[in-house]
Structure 1
């Protein structure tokens, strides 16, 4: 009888330990990307542009079938650029299925930096 009680207590304590450890992970903040990681993502912007955008917006972002987007960062925020790429509009098809989330963010971050200096 005592052995059964000890075994049950041990299982209960192990279960409690697992619960405590799993709850301690809840609410932890994801780490912020460092400058190198951010630069690497932004560096992908031109490559993604070439793969998905160049046929309509031109090799110099000058516009062709689509509008000139050489200074798009002056008109739209990064969030607005993301929405436009995802949803399309004004003759532009939506790309939310074609682009992965990290590709979308890299492209939008790069385009948002395009401003007149």
Structure 2
């Protein structure tokens, strides 16, 4: 009986440890950019735009190359006013927070 208990305990521990690991090992992309911008993104944007910036709400929510499609003022306006299925964040985020996000996002997808 003790052997069965030990085997079951070992299996449980291994199963729990299998869930550990880095975000990259779990298939999550790490976001790169200014710390403040990434923190704001995680707080306000990640639920619709995803951990990999590719969007969870269809092609329009894909941000991985948004800077190649929209200028910084256009991104700012989109964040402030929303549009299509995106809600407005003009009253949820400060002007400085929107500036930080739009500055970072406008650099995504631009050729260097």
TM-score, length of structure 2 as denominator length: 0.64
Q: State yes or no: 1:105 paired with 2:99.
A: yes
Alignment of 1:1-117 (within 5 A): 42-65=34-57, 67-117=61-111
SS in 2 for 1:93: coil
In structure 1, distance between residues paired with 2:101 and 2:65:
14
Displacement over 3 Å in runs of 4+: none
SS in 1 for 2:63: coil
TM-score, length of structure 1 as denominator length: 0.61
Larger relative contact order (C-alpha < 8 A, sep ≥ 6)? Answer: 1
In structure 1, distance between residues paired with 2:48 and 2:57:
5
Residue segments in structure 1 that go unaligned for 5+ positions in a row = 1-41
In structure 2, distance between residues paired with 1:115 and 1:92:
20
Cα RMSD (Å) of the superposition?
1.3
SS in 2 for 1:80: helix
In structure 1, distance between residues paired with 2:70 and 2:57:
20
Say which one has the larger Rg: 1
Q: CA deviation at 1:116?
A: 5.0
Tell me the number of residue pairs that the alignment of Structure 1 and Structure 2 aligns.
76
User: Of Structure 1 and Structure 2, which has the larger fraction of its residues in helix?
Assistant: 1
Residue segments in structure 2 that go unaligned for 5+ positions in a row = 1-33
Q: CA deviation at 1:46?
A: 1.1
